[in-house]
Structure 1
Amino acid sequence: MENKRMRRRESFTCWLLMLGVFGLNELQAEENKTSLAQDPTHVDKNPEEPKTLKGYHRHEGQFIAMGTKHHLFNFTIIHVIDDVQACSYDKQGTQTIFNKAWITEALGKDYIKHKKEVNLSTQTYFNWLLKFLIRNDTKSDENHIIQLFADCELDNDIEIGSHVKFAMDGEDFIKTDDQDNHWTVMKPEAESFKSLAESNLGAKMREKAMKKYCFDMMRKILQYSNMKENVAPEVIVSRHDAPDGGVTFNCIATGFYPHSIQLHWEKGGQLGVWGQESSSGILPNADSTFYLHITLELPPGDSGTDYSCVVEHIKLQKPAVYPVPEKPPVKRPWGMALGLLTVIMLVLGCAGAFIIWKKKKTGPRTHEQATVDGDGSL
């Protein structure tokens, strides 16, 4: 019985430390917000109505702590918005660095100051959490790593989802998304505090933290400017006709930014399911742009005429339509044979004409010439 209480107390302590990464920082933010509201000298420098964001956007926070039972060697935080790094924190320099100068203007001085304080306190929480999770490790000098990945997504300024995942020494520990607040246990050690994670307290604290540090931070930045200049996709459409009569279309879009894009097939300007479709998924290029490849395999009997690949991207004024090339003309075997026979006849005709011309040029040989040619003694 005592062991059971001890395990419950330990799991509760561990979960409080995990919630501390989110919830306690959020409580601190609420306190700062209240104090600012009570300060008569505080003036909101951005009173104008914020603009509505268009398209799909994603914000990911990466938290990585490495250390032993006795010392935290390194701790880093990286915020990535639309696949471009926005800011970072490193224990070695204890500084929060914003990758673009305008980001500090977008967030405002008060938010920047608070964010720097939060990063320092988050480092403390992770130090406690690391020591707690490896408390039973018999090798005190062995390094361990804990990671937290948290992301949120917007689609036309609508919050469509957020996710949180913990990992320990490179292996998933526990994760969740905000669809139903269901936590999935990846390691047996995480099972004991799953119920606490799914409690109302845990859900509310995580919701507030994601709102403050994921959704709102992303909105502040993107309402000020894009992370990088938008780039329209380069599109290539091709077709492949197999010997057995099968037809496959390919539509490739590359070099575009941001990564939100829509590609679909139309026939005669109409949407529909025309065959078996597949997609590569949106993949990154080396230059921070993106790539997408979709295919359409038509059923037998479809000639593949009047098809188009339609592309929608925020950089395009309207959907761009790229027609699929028509089927190339097929040369019949008898036609090829006839062509080859014609060439042979032309070659033989030219050879015969050359021989006749040569004989006419040399003329008939006389009897004396023949005798000389036949007897070398004359």
Structure 2
Amino acid sequence: MASQRGRKRRKRGSFSSLLLILGLLSLTGIQAAHHKHVIQFTTVGTESSLLEHVMVDFLDDVQVFSYNKYNQKLMAKEAWISQVLGAKFIANTQQKLVDHEKSFFWFLKNLMQNETKHDVNCTMQVSVSCENEENNQVRKEIQIAVDGQEFCILDKEMGNQIILMPEALPFKDFLTSILQTTQIEHYMQEYCISSMKNILLHSSIRKNVPPEVTVSHYEAVGGINILSCSATGFYPSSILLYWQKGEEKILPGKESSSGILPNADSTFYQQITIELPPEDMKTDYDCVVEHIELGTPKAYPVHVKYPKKRYWTLTLTILSVVILVLSCIVSFIIWKKMKTGYSFHECITLEVARIRNQGDAHQLRNG
């Protein structure tokens, strides 16, 4: 009895260990995939007033949250995201965003303190991003732009290295003191990294998906050749499609693109096409696709399909050959008869005379 209880405990222990291993493997699979979390702030104001303050949150290029100064509410794109992160997280983050409005406005005022025109608008954009690499290392970065121009970059993985543009040099001490505070690090860890991991654990997409690529060709009016390359079902959305002829890459602008579009299953789609003149050879073109799940760039060749009118041409050619062969056979038969001593006309005359004689004999029998 004791030995049976021992075997049962060992079985339960083995089963629990198996569940634990499977759970760790599934979590490892989620974390091993490459994901990127980006929080973008856009602030517009003058030296005396804050005109606009907007935050948009993206996870793998899919919008997760949004916020603006008019309603001062953190809005989740999907209801389940708020449930996953919890009401406390949503409330705390929303209050921080309200407080951020004062900080961003204060930053704008410092940027515009030497501006002679007091009613001029200034636009500041701040991008906070964190992404996990293939070895599960997390990369964190903050970028600031002013009026569409890069202002400074803070790379948290390079020893808090700050890259200042010439326009930002007068604000060096000011920017260094702000970007290297413990509040920034706490924000990066709590909001950027932790929320990304929690959302991914409950997301319908838990790993990257490679694209399915289709390359086609058809001939348009005037003999113009259209080459089309489509990639669909891939995740995340970061992808690069371009055409090359042989080893030469076709310069951007010569092809048209649909842009990266979402599919119903949260994956993405993109198509690029290029027009070629009738005299251009089509068999030396490849569509090159770069995506994180493909590893190195992969080339997909064009398979040329000839248009229907060429099949009609081939059919007519075959019919012409058949008619020519039949004509030769008939000519040979006629020549053979002529060689035996009868002309073609004589053969017809003798046949008519035979039919007439048969008719006369029939009339005599009936008479």
What's the CA shift string for 1:145-168, capped at 9, x where partnerless? 011011100146823311111111
In the alignment, structure 1 segments of 5+ residues that lack a partner are 1-47, 239-249, 262-274, 294-308, 329-340, 366-378
Q: Which residue of 1 aligns with 2:348?
A: 363
Q: Which residue of 2 aligns with 1:225?
A: 203
Identify the match of residue 325 of structure 2 among 349, 353, 366: 349
**Is 1:210 the equivalent of 2:195?**
no
**Is 1:83 the equivalent of 2:68?**
no
Counterparts of 1:185-334 in structure 2 under 5 Å? Answer: 185-188=164-167, 190-194=168-172, 202=180, 204-226=182-204, 233-236=211-214, 253-259=231-237, 284-285=260-261, 287=263, 289-290=268-269
Query: Is the Cα contact below 8 Å between 1:75 and 1:91 reproduced in 2?
Result: yes
Query: Is the Cα contact below 8 Å between 2:57 and 2:65 reproduced in 1?
Result: yes
**Is 1:183 the equivalent of 2:146?**
no
Q: Give TM-score, length-normalised by structure 2.
A: 0.56
State the number of aligned residues: 262
Counterparts of 1:115-134 in structure 2 under 5 Å? Answer: 115-134=93-112
Report the Cα offset of residue 223 of structure 1: 1.7
CA distance 1:128–1:227, shift in 2 (3 Å): farther
Corresponding letter in the other structure for 2:45: G
Q: Which residue of 1 aligns with 2:125?
A: 147
Distance 1:124 1:343 in 2: 85
Q: Which residue of 2 aligns with 1:18?
A: none
Report the Cα offset of residue 255 of structure 1: 2.6
Hey, which of these two has a bigger chunk of helix by percent? 2
Counterparts of 1:53-72 in structure 2 under 5 Å? Answer: 53-72=31-50
Report the Cα offset of residue 312 of structure 1: 8.7
Report the Cα offset of residue 353 of structure 1: 4.1
In the alignment, structure 2 segments of 5+ residues that lack a partner are 1-22, 217-227, 240-245, 253-258, 273-288, 305-316, 335-343, 351-367
What's the CA shift string for 1:95-146, capped at 9, x where partnerless? 2111110111111111111011011011111111111111222222221101
SS state at 2:116 partner: coil
CA distance 1:87–1:324, shift in 2 (3 Å): closer
SS state at 1:94 partner: coil
Query: Is the Cα contact below 8 Å between 1:256 and 1:291 reproduced in 2?
Result: no
Distance 1:122 1:220 in 2: 24
SS state at 1:73 partner: strand
What's the CA shift string for 1:68-101, capped at 9, x where partnerless? 1111111001110011110010112222111110
Distance 1:142 1:278 in 2: 44
Higher Cα radius of gyration: 2
Distance 2:189 2:213 in 1: 37
Corresponding letter in the other structure for 2:162: W
Query: Is the Cα contact below 8 Å between 1:237 and 1:323 reproduced in 2?
Result: no
Query: Is the Cα contact below 8 Å between 1:161 and 1:178 reproduced in 2?
Result: yes
Corresponding letter in the other structure for 1:146: M
Report the Cα offset of residue 253 of structure 1: 4.5
Corresponding letter in the other structure for 1:351: S
What's the CA shift string for 1:261-280, capped at 9, x where partnerless? 9xxxxxxxxxxxxx979899
Distance 2:111 2:346 in 1: 105
Report the Cα offset of residue 350 of structure 1: 2.6
Distance 2:179 2:120 in 1: 34
CA distance 1:185–1:324, shift in 2 (3 Å): closer
Query: Is the Cα contact below 8 Å between 1:147 and 1:168 reproduced in 2?
Result: yes
Q: Which residue of 2 aligns with 1:22?
A: none
Distance 1:362 1:71 in 2: 114
SS state at 1:95 partner: coil
Query: Is the Cα contact below 8 Å between 1:77 and 1:90 reproduced in 2?
Result: yes
CA distance 1:286–1:225, shift in 2 (3 Å): closer
Distance 1:196 1:135 in 2: 14
Q: Which residue of 2 aligns with 1:45?
A: none
Query: Is the Cα contact below 8 Å between 2:60 and 2:236 reproduced in 1?
Result: yes
CA distance 1:226–1:130, shift in 2 (3 Å): farther
CA distance 1:292–1:364, shift in 2 (3 Å): same
Q: In percent, how many aligned pairs have the same letter? A: 29
Query: Is the Cα contact below 8 Å between 1:176 and 1:183 reproduced in 2?
Result: yes
Distance 1:362 1:90 in 2: 104
Corresponding letter in the other structure for 2:261: N
Q: Give TM-score, length-normalised by structure 1.
A: 0.55
CA distance 1:233–1:363, shift in 2 (3 Å): same
Q: Which residue of 2 aligns with 1:371?
A: none
CA distance 1:223–1:142, shift in 2 (3 Å): same
Query: Is the Cα contact below 8 Å between 1:252 and 1:291 reproduced in 2?
Result: yes
Distance 1:361 1:129 in 2: 115
What's the CA shift string for 1:202-233, capped at 9, x where partnerless? 16543332111211111121122246998663
CA distance 1:200–1:157, shift in 2 (3 Å): farther
Q: Considering Cα pairs closer than 8 Å and 6+ residues apart, tell me whether 1 or 2 has the greater RCO.
A: 1
